[in-house]
């Protein structure tokens, strides 16, 4: 793993939370995007070389909607940038980790993504991210 790519935060209202984070961070949202496969709308903020991703559900059955129902707003996942997502997925499986998807899928911000089950990582959902252009 190269570095932390972003921290994902589940929110109920993307517009309201976006305004809060603009004030908090002192900088505007630089990108919004819908990710239909995950049932979310996202908003990205830069914090130095790091990013914050706000995630709001687009429907009641999305993973974010279920997360919000169980836990409320807050940190949803930590994403790590990887050079080769397929190799990293194989390495993690060989170490005994359970992946939530067997093949990478397209995520937000032009990334291929894969998630590691939080039961295997002390309750923290881990996302692997690889730039889509490198795949």
Q: How does strand 111-116 pair with strand 105-106?
A: antiparallel
pLDDT tens digits, 38-97: 999 999 999 988 999 999 999 999 999 999 999 999 999 999 999 999 999 999 999 999
CA–CA separation, 43 vs 8, rounded Å? 10
CA neighbor of 70 nearest in space, from 118, 35, 135: 118
pLDDT tens digits, 4-19: 999 999 999 999 999 9
CA–CA separation, 85 vs 129, rounded Å? 7
pLDDT surpassing 90 at residue 37 = no
Q: How confident is the model at residue 2 (pLDDT cuts 50, 70, 90)?
A: confident
In this prediction, residue 134 carries a pLDDT of 55
In this prediction, residue 97 carries a pLDDT of 96
Tell me whether residue 54 is exposed, middle or buried, using C-beta atoms within 10 angstroms of its C-beta: 0 to 12, 13 to 18, 19 or more.
Answer: buried
Strand order in the sheet with 50-57: 31-35, 40-47, 50-57, 3-10, 74-81, 125-131, 111-116, 105-106
Q: What is the mean pLDDT of residues 102-119?
A: 93
In this prediction, residue 73 carries a pLDDT of 97
């Amino acid at each position: 793993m190269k570095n932390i790519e972003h921290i994902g935060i589940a929110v109920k209202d993307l517009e309201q939370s976006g305004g809060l984070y603009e004030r908090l961070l002192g900088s505007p949202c630089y990108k919004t995007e819908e990710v239909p496969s995950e049932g979310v709308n996202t908003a990205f903020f830069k914090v130095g070389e790091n990013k914050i991703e706000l995630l709001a559900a687009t429907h009641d059955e999305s993973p974010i909607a279920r997360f919000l129902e169980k836990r409320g707003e807050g940190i949803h996942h930590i994403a790590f940038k990887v050079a080769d997502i397929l190799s990293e997925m194989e390495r993690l499986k060989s170490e005994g980790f359970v992946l939530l998807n067997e093949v990478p899928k397209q995520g937000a911000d032009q990334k291929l993504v894969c998630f590691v089950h939080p039961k295997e990582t002390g309750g923290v959902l881990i996302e692997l991210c690889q730039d889509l252009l490198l795949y």
